């Protein structure tokens, strides 16, 4: 039987140790990829959060800034399992995106589907496009 060497985890913990010596306090956070799209009446934010439960996500909108933070918790693996490959990152995440003043903050909504968090930020009535009929 060959011996399996759990390099990714070893390498990670080594790296984490080095990071801890940094002058700044590291928060061990990562930035999930995000798309921001503008539609006619709303802004849509889509963030990749695979394996994150919706109860572990916190969304705050304050001073025109949308902040999505939370934690990706490690999944359970059986006790007798040996890790052969570990590329997924489990740790805290936080992203802040600044919007203009035209967001109707009271009507912001969010949903999670297939590992994608979707935040819908409706535009304030005054900021929506209007069609003006020529009489």
Partner 1 sequence: MALIRWNHTRDLPSWPSEVFGLQRDVNRMFDNFFRGGLQDDSTELSAWTPAVDIAEQKDAYLVKVELPGVRKEDVKITLESSILTIRGEKKQDTETATENYHRVERCYGSFQRSFTLPTTVKADRIEAVYKDGILNITLPKAEEAKPKQIEVKVK
The residue within the footprint of partner 1, chosen from 17, 55, 62, 87 (CB under 8 A), is 87
Residue 13 tokens, joined: 């913990």
Indicate the residue among 20 and 31 with the shorter CB distance to partner 1: 31
Give the total of residues touching partner 1 (CB under 8 A): 56
Q: In Å, how far are 30, 38, 88, 119, 123 from 12, measured between CA atoms? A: 14, 38, 11, 32, 43
57 contacts 112 by C-beta, under 8 angstroms: yes
Q: Does 92 participate in binding partner 1 (rule CB under 8 A)? A: no
Considering only CA atoms, which of 15, 105, 37, 38 is closest in space to residue 67? 105
29 counts as binding partner 1 under rule CB under 8 A: yes
Is 119 one of the binding residues for partner 1 (CB under 8 A)? no
Residue with tokens 């399992």: 81
Using rule CB under 8 A, residue 101 touches partner 1: yes
3-class SS at 56? Answer: helix
Q: Does 97 bind partner 1 (CB under 8 A)?
A: yes
Q: Which residues pair with 70 in a beta bridge?
A: 57, 93
Residues near partner 1 (CB under 8 A) are 1-5, 7-8, 11, 29, 31, 33-40, 43-44, 46, 48-53, 65, 75, 77-78, 80-89, 94-102, 112, 114-116, 123, 127
């Amino acid at each position: 039987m060959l011996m399996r060497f759990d390099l990714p985890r070893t390498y990670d913990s080594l790296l984490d140790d080095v990071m801890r010596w940094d002058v700044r306090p590291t928060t061990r956070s990562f930035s999930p990829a995000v798309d921001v799209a503008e539609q006619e009446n709303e802004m849509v934010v889509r963030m990749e959060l695979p394996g994150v439960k919706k109860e572990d996500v916190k969304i705050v909108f304050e001073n025109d800034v949308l902040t999505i933070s939370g934690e990706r918790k490690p999944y359970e693996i059986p006790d007798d399992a040996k890790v052969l490959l570990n590329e997924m990152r489990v740790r805290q995440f936080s992203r802040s995106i600044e919007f203009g003043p035209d967001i109707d903050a009271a009507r912001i909504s969010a949903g999670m589907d297939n590992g994608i968090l979707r935040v819908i930020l409706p535009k304030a009535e005054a900021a929506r496009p209007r069609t003006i009929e020529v009489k």
